């Protein structure tokens, strides 16, 4: 490939090389300078239907599992409930591995194949590793993935079942497996394929482009790729108007939103990234400055949302539209709800929310939501391999759901309310076991007549299952 890699931060240029991932000068993400053409290729599948907008890959090396071309659902019931005139949902939950990154894997693995590689190496917070593993299998390549122990279990199992070799590490070692092509979240190739989402949206709403497109931001790559697609299509005279880009980040890690709110020119790294959504817990986004520019140039917005708002959006998508999204996937809708409520997005707008991934990939969060929404918490906990709570522990949780208690009170409550006769040390043993498993916590210690009295209360998890 003879493309130029251009830095999205400082504009430095490099000739294309798959090993070059970032700018030497400023550390920001790189983008491919290509001369795109907008022609439908008959007989091609997935992202290759408009292969001319992507870096050139000979047909015989193109890999596809049928990614892309996802439905743009008219979210009529959410429109009503949040009070906007026209809402569309780009539903990426139906991608082959359940993530929009399948578009990226299709391109990346095809390029790897065309360059003669037999192995792909990646370090991944989840979705990318699972997706690459699937596409590598299709292409006959071996995938090696490094993951952290905090990975979502659904994504880990996916990687293993697709046949990837998975190594668990505490911090990623950016050392490639010998002879492997390295894929990273901020990879220029991985990012380039994300353009196809905006292309499809514009084709699907061809009579009038949307006023807003709302996206989640981690590295900022999707926001930038969306902008790039619009710029390229304008240059090709395919579109005239531009759509305002709205980027959404979780409150616990929002470096791009902070820069937007403070009108900074560049994004500063988040000092303490704390989001439980690992794919979006990016302290130092490599396409942060590029995303910021994309938002400003399109007169767009950036907003952050709390975990509670994210969970509400998951329920909204599922209950009103039949779409099961993972937390990162529901971020766009959570952001939109907030902006509409604050009057920052006009209610009569034509809006597209990009839902990037399926909820089935994150059983932990699905469980948490199911706990809260039903009275089947205890059963769900047991079915998903949690501890089998005996009758005494169950009774203790029920007692503590009424009020915080100290050990002796629990012992008395067990006798009087549940007819459970056990010795006091046994009660303490059950309590400390419940603390260990995360159902109960110690809240305060009081001195009463010279003796320390410790109070216990239910944790959120404990509350959820009672």
Positions that interact with Zn ion (CB under 5 A): 7, 9-10, 12, 23, 25-26
List, in order, residues 6 or more apart from 411 with CB less than 8 Å away.
422, 424, 427
CA distance 334 to 212: 15
What are the φ/ψ torsions at residue 8 (nearest 5 degrees)? -80, -10
Dihedral angle sign, alpha carbons of residues 138, 101, 212, 318? positive
Closer residue to Zn ion (CB): 31 or 281: 31
Tokens at residue 248, please? Answer: 């959404």
Shortest distance, CB of residue 7 to Zn ion, whole angstroms? 3
Closest CA to 292 of 328, 268, 267, 269: 267
Beta pairing class for 451-458 and 440-448: antiparallel
**Minimum distance of Zn ion from residue 265's CB (angstroms):** 14
Q: How far is the CB of 293 from Zn ion (least distance, A)?
A: 13
Cβ nearer to Zn ion, comparing 9 with 216: 9
Is 121 or 224 the residue whose CB approaches Zn ion more closely?
224
If one counts every other C-beta atom within 10 angstroms of the C-beta of residue 154, the result is 20
Closer Cβ to Zn ion, 7 or 282, answer by number: 7
| In the complex, least distance from residue 372 CB atom to Zn ion, rounded to whole angstroms | 45
Q: At its nearest, how many Å lie between Zn ion and the CB of residue 274?
A: 28
Report the distance separating Cα 26 and Cα 11, nearest Å.
10
Q: Tokens 């994210």 label which residue? A: 310
C-beta closer to Zn ion: residue 256 or 332 = 256
- In the complex with Zn ion, which residue's Cβ is closer, 26 or 71? 26
Distance CA(266)–CA(259), nearest Å, equals 7
- Enter the tokens of residue 427: 């009660």
Closest distance of CB 6 from Zn ion, Å: 9
């Amino acid at each position: 490939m003879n493309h130029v890699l251009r830095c999205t931060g400082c504009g430095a240029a490099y000739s294309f090389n798959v090993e070059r991932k970032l700018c030497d000068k400023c550390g920001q993400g790189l983008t491919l300078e290509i001369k795109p053409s907008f022609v439908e290729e008959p007989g091609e599948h997935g992202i290759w239907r408009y292969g001319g907008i992507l870096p050139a890959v000979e047909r015989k090396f193109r890999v596809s599992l049928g990614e892309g071309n996802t439905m743009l659902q008219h979210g009529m019931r959410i429109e009503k409930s949040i009070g906007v005139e026209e809402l569309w949902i780009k539903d990426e939950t139906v991608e082959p591995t359940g993530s929009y990154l399948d578009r990226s894997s299709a391109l990346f693995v095809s390029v790897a194949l065309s360059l003669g590689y037999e192995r792909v190496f990646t370090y991944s917070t989840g979705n990318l590793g699972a997706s690459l593993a699937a596409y590598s299998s299709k292409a006959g390549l071996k995938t090696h993935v490094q993951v952290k122990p905090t990975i979502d279990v659904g994504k880990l199992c996916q990687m293993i079942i697709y046949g990837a070799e998975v190594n668990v590490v505490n911090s990623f070692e950016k050392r490639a497996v010998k002879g492997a092509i390295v894929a990273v979240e901020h990879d220029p190739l991985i990012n380039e394929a994300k353009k196809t989402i905006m292309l499809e949206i514009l084709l699907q709403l061809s009579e009038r482009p949307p006023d807003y497109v709302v996206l989640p931001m981690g590295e900022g790559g999707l926001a930038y790729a969306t902008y790039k697609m619009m710029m390229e299509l304008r240059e090709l005279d395919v579109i005239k108007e531009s759509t305002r880009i709205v980027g959404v980040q979780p409150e616990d890690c929002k470096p791009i939103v902070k820069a937007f709110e403070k009108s900074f020119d560049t994004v500063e790294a988040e000092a303490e990234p704390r989001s439980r959504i690992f794919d979006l817990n990016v302290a130092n986004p490599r396409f942060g400055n590029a995303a910021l520019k994309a938002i400003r140039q399109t007169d767009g917005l950036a907003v952050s949302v709390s975990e509670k708002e994210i969970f509400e959006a998951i329920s909204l998508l599922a209950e009103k539209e039949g779409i099961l999204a993972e937390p990162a996937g529901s971020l766009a809708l959570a952001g939109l709800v907030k902006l509409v409520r604050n009057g920052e997005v006009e209610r009569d707008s034509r809006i597209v929310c990009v839902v990037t991934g399926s909820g089935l990939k994150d059983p932990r969060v699905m469980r948490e939501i199911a706990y809260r929404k039903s009275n089947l918490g205890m059963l769900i906990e047991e079915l998903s391999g949690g501890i089998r709570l005996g009758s005494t522990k169950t009774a203790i949780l029920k007692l503590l759901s009424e009020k915080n208690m100290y050990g002796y009170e629990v012992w008395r409550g067990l006798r009087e309310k549940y007819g459970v006769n056990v010795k006091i040390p046994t009660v303490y043993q059950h309590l400390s076991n419940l603390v260990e498993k995360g159902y109960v916590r110690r809240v305060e210690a009081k001195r009463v007549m010279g003796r320390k009295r410790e109070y216990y209360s239910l944790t959120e998890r404990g509350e959820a299952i009672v």
